[in-house]
Amino acid sequence: MPADSIRLGFGLAFVLTLDESHTPRRTLTTPRALRTVMSESDHSGDEGTSLATAAETAIGQCMALEADESCVVVADDHTSSIGEALYRAASRISDDTLLARYPPREQHGEEPPEPVAAAMSAADVVLCPTTRSVSHTRARTAANEAGARVVTLPGITEEVFATGLDADYGRIARECERVLEAVASADELKVTSPQGTDFTATVDTREWRSDTGIVHESGEMSNLPAGEVFVSPQTSSGTYVVDGTMMPHGLLDREIEFVVEDGTVVEVSDDAVRKELESAAEQVGEDAYNLAEIGIGTNVAVTDLVGSVLADEKATGTVHIAIGDDAGIGGDVAAPIHTDGVLREPTVYADGAEVELPRVERP
């Protein structure tokens, strides 16, 4: 292999060139014949469908891809239809567009193939609709550090993609801003619900964050579908009851109760969830039970829960509470688990004042 080029090994003859300082140029060379083959293999019948509409939202509203920018779409064998929809939407804007596809990984956080990682770091815009999350990989981190704008879509399905991305992300950003203003200066957050939630968290010096889905600045990263305001609390205590969505179950037909003492989950009413936490605890001990996150959904397009945490935690009028890893969201606990539970009917108080949650009419 020549010293000034890297040939990407996933069946597509794209070449990532290096400049004289051996820094990747932000261009991707696409042979015309190969582009033709790829175009002919597309499912062109989905033009005008919900997948195409959602892809256009992701490429246009969320990423603001420009004609002189390069774009890499990273998919796997289970998410190829979404990857192809994103590729088509991006390639209408930029000729420097690449679709990379590889076999699904077994665990969240496993690295993509090295040629894919190289392409990610060379691009201006990167979208990753994958079965297993690449959010916490070296490849994603390196791409952001190189200046790429990155969104990940872990565990994405066609239904979730079409629902969560068929949205006005400008409005979602405004809802995030409004909620953030209501909670950002609060020292204490309280969540209650008709199902029995009575849960209090101290924020202290931890910073509230906003996931708007608008990724227009170099080095930024987001999840899609987006739409939440969230924090990793300093400590917390009380009881919360999940009645919406939680893995490994998906959409729940029963309630799951959690008891928290001094920032640690000490009781779980569901056997399957408890086993997942116990498995993680075998690696990191008590950190697996860390109360990691409180989030408020702001995605006005998610009008009903569908059983996917990725989408349901963004639904307006909901709160999600997570256990485990919080190192990537302002906390200090690294754990091999981050499991969210969605509450359908929460009331939130910031320093005693009720927070007006975003609301939409549900079917």
* pLDDT(20) > 90: no
pLDDT tens for each residue of 300-337 = 888 889 998 989 999 999 999 999 988 878 899 988 88
- The pTM (predicted TM-score) of the whole model is 0.78
pLDDT tens for each residue of 51-98 = 999 999 999 999 999 999 999 999 999 999 999 999 999 999 999 999
Closest CA to 152 of 122, 108, 119, 114: 108
pLDDT tens for each residue of 128-142 = 999 988 887 889 989
Backbone angles phi, psi at 280, to 5 degrees: -65, -35
Percentage helix, strand, coil for the chain under 3-state DSSP, each rounded to 5: 30, 30, 45
Greatest mean pLDDT range, 1-5, 37-41, 91-95, 157-161: 91-95
CA-CA-CA-CA torsion sign (14, 18, 22, 26)? negative
Tokens of 117: 């990682």
Closest CA to 85 of 66, 99, 106, 103: 99
Query: What are the structural domains, with CATH classification, of the chain?
Result: 5-164 (3.40.50), 167-354 (no CATH)
* pLDDT(28) > 60: no
Q: Rounded CA gap, 361 and 302, in Å?
A: 10
Q: Which element (helix H / strand E) includes 267?
A: strand 264-268
Residue 259's SS3 state is: strand
* pLDDT(273) > 90: yes
Average pLDDT, integer, range 285-296:
96
Residues in the chain: 363
